[in-house]
Structure 1
Amino acid sequence: MTELIQHESTQDVIAQSVAAKVTNITKKQINATLTLLNEGSTVPFIARYRKEMTGELDEVQIRDIQSIAKRSKELVERKNTVLKAIFEQRKLTDALQKSIQNAQTLQELEDIYLPYKQKRRTKAMVARENGLQPLADWLMTHINNNIDEVLPNYVNEDLPTMVDVRAGVHEILAEQIGEKANYRQWLRLRMAVDGMLVSSLKRGMADKDEQKVYEQYYDFTETIKSLLNNKFRILAVNRGEKEGILSVKIDFSEARMMHFIQTKELNGQNPTGQGYEILHHAIEDAYKRFIRPAVEREIRQELTIQAQEQAIKVFGDNLYHLLMQAPLKNKIVMGFDPGFRTGSKLAIIDSNGKFLAKQVIYPHKPANVQKRAEAISIFKQLVSDYKVELVAIGNGTASRESEEFVAENLPTGVKYTIVNEAGASVYSASEQAREEFPDLHVEERSAISIGRRIQDPLAELIKIDPKSVGVGQYQHDLNAKTLDEQVDNVVETAVNQVGVNLNTASPALLAHIAGLNKNLAQNIVNYRNDFGEFTSRTQIKKVPRLGPKAYEQAAGFLRIVDGKNILDNTDIHPESYAAAKKLLSLANISPVNLATDEANAVLNRLDNEHTAEQLDVGIQTLHDMVMSLQKPGRDGRSEMVGALLKSDVMHIEDLKAGMKLQGTVRNVVDFGAFVDLGVKHDGLVHISRMSTRRIKHPSEIVSVGDIVEVWIVDVDEKRNRIGLTMLTPQ
Structure 2
Amino acid sequence: MNQDIIKQTAALLKIKVTQVENVLSLLEEGATVPFIARYRKEKTGGLNEDQIREISQVYEYSVNLLKRKEDVIRLIDEKGMMTAQLKADIMKAEKLSEVEDYYRPYKEKKKTRATMAKAKGLEPLAQAIMKLPRHGDLKLLATPYLNEEVPTIEDALAGASDIIAEDIADSAKYRQRAKEEILNYGKIVTKVKKNAKDEKHTYEKYYDYSESVKRIANHRVLAINRAEKEKVISVSFDYDESFILGYILRGLMGNKQTIADEFIRNATLDAYKRLIAPSIEREIRSDLTEKAEDASLQVFSVNLEHLLMQPPMKGQVVLGLDPAFRTGCKLAVMDPTGKFLAKDKVFITIPKKSYAEDEKKLLQLITRYHVSLIAIGNGTASRESEAFVAKLIKNHHLDVKYVIVSEAGASVYSASPLAKEEFPDFQVEERSAVSIGRRLQDPLAELVKIEPKAISVGQYQHDMNQKKLGEQLDFVVEKVVNQVGVNINTASPSLLQYVSGLSKTTAKNIVAYREEHGAFTSREEIMQVSKLGPKSYEQSVGFLRIINGHNIFDETSIHPDNYQDAAKLLDYIGLTKAELGTKKMAEALADFNIQKACEDLALDHYLVEDLVSAFISPQRTPRDDYAAPVLKSNVLTIEDLKPGMKLQGTVRNVVDFGAFVDIGLHEDGLVHISKMSKKRIKHPLDVVAVGDVVDVWVLDADVKKQRVSLTMVEM
TM over 0.5: yes
**How many residue pairs align between the two structures?**
711
Q: Contact conserved, 2:579 with 2:585, CA < 8 A, in 1?
A: yes
Deviation per residue, 1:600-632 (Å, 9 max, x gap): 232344432332234432111111111011111
| More moved, 77-86 vs 107-116 | 77-86
AA aligned opposite 2:565: A
TM-score (norm 1): 0.95
Q: What is the distance in 2 between the residues matched to 1:95 and 1:696?
A: 42
Deviation per residue, 1:267-305 (Å, 9 max, x gap): 4423x42x2222111111111111111111111110011
SS at match of 1:222: strand
Match of 2:335 among 347, 350, 367: 350
Q: Contact conserved, 1:319 with 1:490, CA < 8 A, in 2?
A: yes
Shift of 1:326: 1.0
Question: How does 1:556-575 map onto structure 2 within 5 Å?
Answer: 556-575=542-561
Question: How does 1:146-295 map onto structure 2 within 5 Å?
Answer: 146=136, 147-205=138-196, 208-227=197-216, 230-270=217-257, 272-273=258-259, 275-295=260-280
Q: Corresponding residue for 2:300?
A: 315
Q: Contact conserved, 2:585 with 2:615, CA < 8 A, in 1?
A: no
Shift of 1:484: 0.5
Q: Corresponding residue for 2:425?
A: 439
Match of 1:99 among 86, 89, 95: 89
Question: How does 1:85-96 map onto structure 2 within 5 Å?
Answer: 85-96=75-86
Q: Corresponding residue for 1:5?
A: none
Q: Contact conserved, 1:202 with 1:244, CA < 8 A, in 2?
A: yes
Q: Corresponding residue for 2:363?
A: 380
TM-score (norm 2): 0.97
Match of 1:15 among 6, 26, 31: 6
AA aligned opposite 2:108: Q
| More moved, 281-290 vs 598-607 | 598-607
Deviation per residue, 1:222-257 (Å, 9 max, x gap): 101110xx2101111111111111011111101100
Q: What is the distance in 1 between the residues matched to 2:135 and 2:364?
A: 102
Deviation per residue, 1:408-451 (Å, 9 max, x gap): 11233211111111211111111111111222222111111111
Shift of 1:364: 3.0
Q: What is the distance in 2 between the residues matched to 1:17 and 1:296?
A: 30
Q: Contact conserved, 2:699 with 2:710, CA < 8 A, in 1?
A: yes
Q: Contact conserved, 1:327 with 1:638, CA < 8 A, in 2?
A: no
Q: Contact conserved, 1:407 with 1:648, CA < 8 A, in 2?
A: yes
Q: Is 1:514 the equivalent of 2:500?
A: yes
AA aligned opposite 2:50: V
Shift of 1:329: 0.4
Deviation per residue, 1:47-105 (Å, 9 max, x gap): 11111111111122212212212211221222233234334444334443333222211
Q: Corresponding residue for 1:632?
A: 618
Q: Contact conserved, 1:103 with 1:109, CA < 8 A, in 2?
A: yes
AA aligned opposite 1:496: N
Question: How does 1:24-43 map onto structure 2 within 5 Å?
Answer: 25-43=15-33
Q: Corresponding residue for 1:608?
A: 594
Q: What is the distance in 2 between the residues matched to 1:615 and 1:541?
A: 30
Q: 1:11 to 1:553 in 2, by over 3 A?
A: farther
Q: What is the distance in 1 between the residues matched to 2:714 and 2:587?
A: 42
SS at match of 2:653: strand
Q: Contact conserved, 1:453 with 1:461, CA < 8 A, in 2?
A: yes
Deviation per residue, 1:96-127 (Å, 9 max, x gap): 33332222110110100111222211221222
SS at match of 2:215: helix
AA aligned opposite 1:643: P
Q: Is 1:598 the equivalent of 2:587?
A: no
| More moved, 573-582 vs 275-284 | 275-284
Match of 1:138 among 128, 150, 156: 128
Q: Contact conserved, 1:144 with 1:276, CA < 8 A, in 2?
A: no
Question: How does 1:530-609 map onto structure 2 within 5 Å?
Answer: 530-609=516-595
Q: Contact conserved, 2:329 with 2:347, CA < 8 A, in 1?
A: yes
AA aligned opposite 2:574: N
SS at match of 1:727: coil
Q: What is the distance in 1 between the residues matched to 2:7 and 2:128?
A: 45
Deviation per residue, 1:531-586 (Å, 9 max, x gap): 22111112222222222221111111110101111111111111111111111122
SS at match of 1:216: helix
Q: Contact conserved, 2:188 with 2:235, CA < 8 A, in 1?
A: yes
Q: Corresponding residue for 1:6?
A: none
Q: Corresponding residue for 2:349?
A: 364
SS at match of 2:5: helix
Q: Corresponding residue for 2:446?
A: 460
Q: Corresponding residue for 1:3?
A: none
Q: What is the distance in 2 between the residues matched to 1:609 and 1:215?
A: 62
Q: 1:543 to 1:145 in 2, by over 3 A?
A: farther
Any stretches of 5+ residues in structure 2 without a counterpart? none
Deviation per residue, 1:679-729 (Å, 9 max, x gap): 211111111111000001111111111111111111112211111111111
SS at match of 1:225: coil
Identity %: 49
SS at match of 1:719: coil
Q: Contact conserved, 2:117 with 2:162, CA < 8 A, in 1?
A: yes
SS at match of 2:682: coil
Match of 2:603 among 608, 614, 617: 617
Q: What is the distance in 1 between the residues matched to 2:195 and 2:622?
A: 56
Any stretches of 5+ residues in structure 1 without a counterpart? 1-9
